[in-house]
Amino acid sequence: MKALVHPTEATYDHIADAIADKGYCVLPQLLPANLNNALQQRVMNLDDEDFRRAGIGREQDFQLNNAIRRDETRWLTLDNKIDKTYLDQMAEFRLAINRRLFMGLFDYEAHYAHYAPGAFYKKHVDAFKGESNRVLTTVLYLNPEWREEDGGQLLIYAPGSDAVIETVNPNFGCFVIFLSEQFPHEVAKSYRDRYSIAGWFRLLDPLQAPLI
């Protein structure tokens, strides 16, 4: 891949201000086009067997799971060059946000997600207060030429409310960030194959940290 053009300091300022002011930020574009393209190629070329039906927390009940979410996921790993490029970008992002907001973000995990036609993810939060160290959610969308009637919109709700405050089409290159514990959200039923990368910045969990 050609050299990356990194997000500018002004872009990070804008994101940090939005997180501090309202808790979320929707950017039509964040990463360089060549990285978005490489990630799209990668996710489209993954085989069906590479994906796992996503689960919901500790819930083992397939029926319940099926009623809540229908996406398939696959974790990004450092041993793949393209995954690593994205994870490196998110490491830079993490440091840029920590410098501005002192959030103490410690690490990041991310998976590719595929919503086949008919798939959705009902209203949920990514982290429950005190139960998880996930603090900041990111979603990068990898769908060229998405149309309103393709569905699959991300709906973001006001904290503790049924009011939708943001409707996001999963357009190619669009990048969304929100506080994981604050914002219930859902993925409306998608009528087309829908590809994205969902990720979470986490705080250091002393119970999971290796003993040194």
Q: Is the CB of 100 or the CB of 192 nearer to ligand OGA?
A: 192
Using CA atoms, how far apart are residues 168 and 175, in angstroms rounded to an integer?
Answer: 10
Residues 147-166 that bind ligand OGA (CB under 6 A): 154
For residue 166, state whether it binds Mn ion (rule: CB under 5 A).
Answer: no
Exposed, middle or buried, 185 (CB in 10 Å: 0-12/13-18/19+)? buried
Q: Of ligand OGA, Mn ion, none, which one does residue 154 interact with (CB within 5 to 8 Å by kind)?
A: ligand OGA
The candidate with the shortest Cα–Cα distance to 195, out of 160, 212, 170, is 170
CA distances 207 to 132, 133, 188, Å, are 11, 11, 35
Q: Is the CB of 36 or the CB of 196 nearer to ligand OGA?
A: 196
Q: What is the nearest approach in angstroms of ligand OGA to the Cβ of residue 139?
A: 5
Look-up: residue for tokens 């929707």? 26
For residue 126, state whether it binds Mn ion (rule: CB under 5 A).
Answer: yes
Backbone angles phi, psi at 153, to 5 degrees: -70, 145
How many helices and strands, by DSSP H and E, does the chain display? 4, 11
By beta carbon distance, the residue nearest Mn ion is 126
For residue 187, state whether it binds ligand OGA (rule: CB under 6 A).
Answer: yes
Which one among 112, 196, 199, 202 touches ligand OGA, defined by CB under 6 A?
196
Look-up: residue for tokens 């603090």? 135
Q: Is the CB of 83 or the CB of 126 nearer to ligand OGA?
A: 126
Residues 67-126 that bind ligand OGA (CB under 6 A): 113, 121, 126
- List contacts with Mn ion (CB under 5 A): 126
